[in-house]
Copies of this chain bind each other. A is one copy, B any other.
Amino acid sequence: MATLVQAVRMALHYGETYLGVTDILGEDVGPPLGGVFTATQGLETAWNTPLDERGIVGAAMGIAYAGGRPVAEIQFCDYGFNTIDLLKVAGNQRWAGGGNYEMPIVLMTPSGSGIRGSLYHSHSFESWASRLAGWKVVMPSNALDAYGLMLSAIVDPNPVLVLLPKALLRVRGEKLIPGEPADPELLKQLIDAPLGDRTGWRPRWPDLDEYLVPIGTADQVREGTHATLVSYGRTLPLCVKAADLLRESDGLTCDVIDLRSIFPYDWRMISQSVLKTGRVLFVNEDSEVTNFGEHLLRRVVEEHFYDLLARPRVLQGQHVPGIGLNQIYEQNTVPQLPHILETLRAVATEEA
């Protein structure tokens, strides 16, 4: 079973082999390193750029204008905040230009906390990104979705931001990517670059198949009746665990929805679940003022206010300037399992 980051790498290989990807560019994405998280090891079209995020985004846009299909990486989303004007242009150019041009770029970037990253390797980006009209934004929480969302991002002729949950990059999937060998050791031998000298190394790619996770489709990973729990990225597996614990401890069952696609989002699935349960909790780790979860809450209030059985909730990160390196800071800044479990129990059991 591939790890999430291996799945991304395989998707990029599939993309450059079958889907027309022309360039995979970013800081340290080319040889010898292949990305600070190994996401781009051994890829044909990967090349290193100057240390200049504006250049990376701008070049990707130019490549797309001229007919290429680039996948650009921002090494950490924390370093993308000087490019928001360019991201806006990428998102508005088609609209502003009356439909003259498409903008088929994929921007991928690790996002979120969980690797002891201190201030600048712990940011979440989805709330910012969700404000970028013209963009699509996805965030997988497991290897197979990472593969399928990455392929969709490549195929989609619009700018797509792929947020990769840092904390889950090395987590192995539970489902096989079509074509990957079942033995993780074998996969590693085939596609992971060796430590040390890599000059002679070439990956031996498994014979992968196309697998698309359509943009705008969520995944229902648990079914239940007592509450709806919606999340994505790092907090998604925690939400699954919380739901499982709640079932064991209190016999309460929940729909757990892995949103996967942040914009556009699968409103139908959320809506139907809320209609069924009347109780909803949105969980993410981005900071709590003007947070994307608050948008989802607003939609629920707008369309299901009179269907709700209990106060709907959003569990988010604190509105503080950063996540500190000492784990005391991190544990008390972004949602952890106990917070999720406690809030979920409250939503599921609150008297109507």
A residues near B, CB below 8 A? 54, 79, 81-86, 88, 91-92, 94-96, 119, 127-128, 130-131, 133-134, 263, 287-292, 294-295, 297-298, 301-302, 305-306, 311-314, 319-322
Cβ contact within 8 Å between B96 and A322: yes
Cβ contact within 8 Å between B311 and A301: yes
Which B residues are CB-close (under 8 A) to A91? Answer: 321
Known A128-B131, A298-B294; judge A86-B92 contact (CB<8 A). Answer: no
Cβ contact within 8 Å between B79 and A82: no
Which B residues are CB-close (under 8 A) to A79? Answer: 85
Cβ contact within 8 Å between A96 and B321: yes
Which B residues are CB-close (under 8 A) to A95? Answer: 320-322
Which of A127, A287, A313, A321 has the most chain B CB atoms inside 10 A of its CB? A321
How far apart sit A321 and B314, CA to CA, in the bound complex (Å)? 27
Cβ contact within 8 Å between A133 and B320: yes
The 8 closest A-B pairs by CB, nearest first: A92-B321, A81-B85, A95-B321, A305-B311, A82-B85, A294-B298, A81-B84, A133-B321
How far apart sit A95 and B314, CA to CA, in the bound complex (Å)? 25
**Of all chain B residues, which has the CB nearest A82?**
B85
How far apart sit A298 and B313, CA to CA, in the bound complex (Å)? 8
Known A134-B321, A290-B130, A302-B313; judge A86-B82 contact (CB<8 A). Answer: yes
